[in-house]
Structure 1
Amino acid sequence: MTADSNVTEPSAGSATAAIVVDIAIVGGGLAGSLAAAVLARAGHRVALVDKRAVHPDEFRVEKIGGRQLEMLRKLGYLDALDNVACRYDQVLNIREGKVVDVSVGRAYGLPYADLVAMARSQLPDPSSLIVDEVTAVNCRDDLQHVELASGGRITARLVVLATGMAGVLGYKLGIKRRVLAERHSVSFGFTIARRDHAPFDFEALTCYGERTADGIDYLSLFPVRAGMRANLFMFRDPTDPIMRELRREPEATVLRLLPGLRPYLGDFHVIDRVQNWVMHLSVVEGHLQPGVVLIGDAFQTNCPAAGTGVARLLVDVERLCTEYAPRWLGTEGMGREKISEFYSDRDKVAADQQSLKMARFRQALTSRNDIGWDVRRRLHFLRRSITHRLDQMRPGWLAQVRSALRA
C-alpha cells in the first residue's frame, strides 16, 4: 500500500499496460524527486519510479545553506524548504575550545526523508510517482523501455538514472563504477539535547578536530525539529575500535576526541540512534549511451565533509532539467551526441571537479602531519581567526571586502 491513494501503484490489471511519458526517472531520492518536479512543472510528461512511497529515514543530507540556497531559489523550491526545515542564521566555529570565527548566513536543518518529501510534494500530479521496482532498462537512439517488477512497462524518450550508489541497473547497461578512494571518509549522525532540557547557548556550532592522529575533520551541530543534530566527519579506518565506541558511548567518546566542546555542551545526552556511513569516492565509466543520463551520486560520489554533494546534485538537476532535456525533446532522437552535451556542460564539469578537489583537500587538512600541511593547517585557522577579530573591531568590514572582490 502507499501513503497516498493518488500514487500510481503496480497492480495485476496494470501488468500489460504501457505507460508512455517524455521522461522516466529511476530513483526517488533527492536528485530524482527534484528532477521530476522541475520537469513536470515545465509541462513534460514524467514518471518517477521508486520502490517506496515514503522515503525511509536515511543518514544523508541534513543541512542546506550557502550557494545551495541560491540554486534552490533558482529552481523555485526555497519557500517549500522554509516550510519544513529549521532555519538558523549563525554558526559559532571553534577549535581547541577557542572561537575561530562566526559564520553568518541563512541555513536549514532537516532529516533527509523530509527533504525528499518536500521535493516530491512539488510534483503537480502525485500520480507521476510510480511505486514499483525497475528490473531492466533498454535504451536506444529513439525510444527507451523500462521494465517493472510488477510486469508493467514504461516507454519514454529519455531515462534518467538517479539511483544513487546502487549500480545494478547501470551494470546491466555496461556502466561500471571506478573507485578513486576506497573508504575515503566516515560520517556519524545523531541528535543531542541537554539533560536539564534547557536550550544550548548557540544557534549552531562547528568544532574542528584538535589532533591529526584522531582523523576528525569537524563536528557540526545544527537545529532540527527533534533537537540539536550532530554530524561528525572523520578520515579514519572504519574498522578502528573508535567507531564502535562512537556507536556505544557517543557522549563520552565525542568529549574525549573533542575536549574543547565540553564548556559549550554542558551535561548532554544522545536522544536517538547513532547512524554512520562509510563513503567511497567513485565515478562511473561507460556512461555515454543513447537515451539514458545519470545524475547525482549515480554519476559521481562526494565526500560528506566537503559539503559539495548537494551543490553538485543541484547543478545536475538544473542543467539537465532546464537546459538540455527540454531542448532534446524538441527534436527527434536521443543519441549519444545529445547525451554528451550534458556530461560536457561547463558548470557540471566544474562542480564535479571541485567536489573531488575539496574531498582531497579536507582529508589532507585533517590528517596529513608533515611540516607542509602542519603549517598550512595553522595558517588556515589563524587567517580565519584574524579576519574574525578585525571584523569584530570594524563591523561590516569583511562584507565590504568580499563585495569589492566580487565586483
Structure 2
Amino acid sequence: MTTDRTVTEPIDGGETATIVSDIAIVGGGLAGSLAAAVLARAGHRVALVDKRAVYPDEFRVEKIGGHQLELLRKLDFLSALDGVACRYDRVLNIREGKVVDVSVGQAYGFPYADLVAMARSQIPDPSSLIVDEVTAISNSDDVQHLELASGRRVTARLVVLATGMAGVLGYKLGIRRRVLAERHSVSFGFTIARKDRSPFDFEALTCYGERTADGIDYLSLFPVRAGMRANLFMFRDPTDPIMRELRREPEATVLRLLPGLQSYLGDFRVTDRVQNWVMDLTVVEGHLQPGVVLIGDAFQTNCPAAGTGVARLLMDVDRLCTEYVPRWLMTAGMGREKISQFYSDRDKIAADQQSLKMARFRQALTSRNDIGWDVRRRLHFLRRSLAHRVDQMHPGWLGRVRGALRA
C-alpha cells in the first residue's frame, strides 16, 4: 500500500483530475458501501463511485436476522445498525389462521436507504465517495483506469464491481449474465397500520400461503420506524392480473389471498405506495479478468423469498475485503491468478450454491402441486408445529437440541 494519502491529483492544471486509489468500487448500494467501509477502515485508499450522493428509497433488503447478524458483527457494523433499525425478537408464524410456531431471535427491520446510509457513514473519509458515473473501465494485470461522466479519471490497482443487476460496464468488459430462471419470483413491499391507530397484537408475523394455485410463499410483517412493514413473496407470472390488484387494492387482495390473516390484522390500511420487484435468477460468465472482481448481485442474483441475498453479499464482502484484498495489495500485479482466489474461495462458493438451492426449494415448496411435494409441504409444517408444541410444554428444549446439533 502506498503512503501518499492524496485522493485527487490535478492533470495539466486543468479541470480534469485523476483520482488515485488502491481500490475503486463501482456502485454505492449496500455491497459497495460495506466493502468501501471495511477497506477504508483498514487503511486502504478507497474510491467509491456512485451517481447518487444519497441513496434513494428503493424496495430492496428490509430486514436482517440470524447468521446475517453474525457476519455484520464480525465486520463491526452491528452497533451502527442499532442506530438506524428497529429491533424485534419474536416472530409469530401462522398458516391458514393457525399458529405454526414462534421464531425467537434477534432481528432488525429498516428502509434499505437507511441501511446504505449506515454503511456509508462508517467510511472514515467522506471524500472517498465520488458522486459521478463510470462510463468505461480499462483493466490490466497492473493498474486499472476508470473514465467518469464528468471527465475525471480514477486509477486503482483493483476495481470492485458492486453494480447489482446493472450490467452495462460488465458487458463492455465481455462479462455476460446467464439467466437460470427468468421471472423467478415477485416481491411486494408496503407499510400497514390499523385504522384506529392501535398497535398490532404481535411484534412481527409471518403468514404462509394457503393454496399452491395462489403462488404465495409468505407475507412477512415486521417493525420499521415508519410502522409495520409488509414484504409479500410470490412465485407467479408477473403479468397476472393479481399483480395489478395488489397495487390498486392491496388490503382486499391480501385478505383474499391470505384469509387467515384477518383475525390478526383487524381493520387495517396500507399507508404508503405499494412497490414491487420481479427477480430473475442469474449468474455471470466471463468474469475472471485481471484487476476486476464482482460481488453481490453483480456476480449472482438471489431469490428474495429465500432470504439468502444479504448473507451472500456479506460473505462476499468479508472474504474479499478481509482476506484477499489486503494480501493482494502486498505484492505487485493484479492478474487473473489473484482474482481467481476469491472466486474459488470455499466459503463463497458454498454461500452461492446454498442461495440457488434455497431459491429452488422455496419455489417448489410453494407452487408444486404433485403428490410428492404436497406430502413434503404437509410434513414441513407438521414438524414445525410439533416442535413448537413440545417446546411450549418443555421451554428451552428446542434451543438445547439445536445447540447440541451444532456442537
- TM-score when normalising by structure 1: 0.97
Unaligned runs of 5+ in 1: 1-6
Residue in 2 aligned with 1:145?
Answer: 145
Q: State the SS of the aligned residue for 2:232.
A: strand
Residue in 2 aligned with 1:343?
Answer: 343
Residue in 1 aligned with 2:4?
Answer: none
- Are 1:135 and 2:115 counterparts? no
Counterpart amino acid of residue 195 in structure 1: K
- Are 1:90 and 2:74 counterparts? no
Q: 1:106-150, CA deviations, whole angstroms, 9 ceiling, x for partnerless residues? A: 000000000000000000000000000000010000000011000
Q: State the SS of the aligned residue for 1:300.
A: coil
- Are 1:114 and 2:114 counterparts? yes
Residue in 2 aligned with 1:32?
Answer: 32
Residue in 2 aligned with 1:228?
Answer: 228
Q: CA deviation at 1:241?
A: 0.3
Residues 15 and 32 (structure 1 numbering): CA distance in 2 closer, same or farther, change over 3 Å? farther
Q: CA deviation at 1:154?
A: 0.5
Query: In the aligned structure 2, how far is the partner of 1:122 from the partner of 1:360?
Result: 35
Q: State the SS of the aligned residue for 2:403.
A: helix
Counterpart amino acid of residue 361 in structure 2: F
- Are 1:267 and 2:253 counterparts? no
- Counterparts of 1:89-238 in structure 2, within 5 Å, are 89-238=89-238
Residue in 2 aligned with 1:330?
Answer: 330
Q: CA deviation at 1:15?
A: 4.3
Residue in 2 aligned with 1:354?
Answer: 354
Q: CA deviation at 1:213?
A: 0.1
Query: In the aligned structure 2, how far is the partner of 1:93 from the partner of 1:14?
Result: 62
Residues 269 and 206 (structure 1 numbering): CA distance in 2 closer, same or farther, change over 3 Å? same
Question: 1:14·1:152 contact (CA, 8 Å) conserved in 2?
Answer: no
Query: In the aligned structure 1, how far is the partner of 2:213 from the partner of 2:158?
Result: 48
- Counterparts of 1:364-403 in structure 2, within 5 Å, are 364-403=364-403
Query: In the aligned structure 2, how far is the partner of 1:126 from the partner of 1:109?
Result: 26
Q: State the SS of the aligned residue for 1:276.
A: strand
Query: In the aligned structure 1, how far is the partner of 2:357 from the partner of 2:402?
Result: 23
- TM-score when normalising by structure 2: 0.97
Residue in 1 aligned with 2:60?
Answer: 60
Query: In the aligned structure 2, how far is the partner of 1:395 from the partner of 1:14?
Result: 71
Q: Structure 1 runs of 4+ off > 6 angstroms?
A: none
Q: CA deviation at 1:405?
A: 1.0
Counterpart amino acid of residue 268 in structure 2: F
Question: 1:15·1:150 contact (CA, 8 Å) conserved in 2?
Answer: no
Query: In the aligned structure 1, how far is the partner of 2:367 from the partner of 2:218?
Result: 12
Q: CA deviation at 1:17?
A: 1.4
Residue in 2 aligned with 1:80?
Answer: 80
Unaligned runs of 5+ in 2: 1-6
- Are 1:297 and 2:301 counterparts? no
Question: 1:165·1:298 contact (CA, 8 Å) conserved in 2?
Answer: yes
Q: 1:235-259, CA deviations, whole angstroms, 9 ceiling, x for partnerless residues? A: 0000000000000000000000000
Q: 1:323-382, CA deviations, whole angstroms, 9 ceiling, x for partnerless residues? A: 000000000000000000000000000000000000000000000000000000000000
Query: In the aligned structure 1, how far is the partner of 2:166 from the partner of 2:113?
Result: 18
Query: In the aligned structure 1, how far is the partner of 2:17 from the partner of 2:120?
Result: 24
Counterpart amino acid of residue 21 in structure 2: V
Q: State the SS of the aligned residue for 1:84.
A: coil
Q: CA deviation at 1:14?
A: 7.2
Q: State the SS of the aligned residue for 1:69.
A: helix
Q: CA deviation at 1:403?
A: 1.2
Residue in 1 aligned with 2:3?
Answer: none
Residue in 2 aligned with 1:255?
Answer: 255
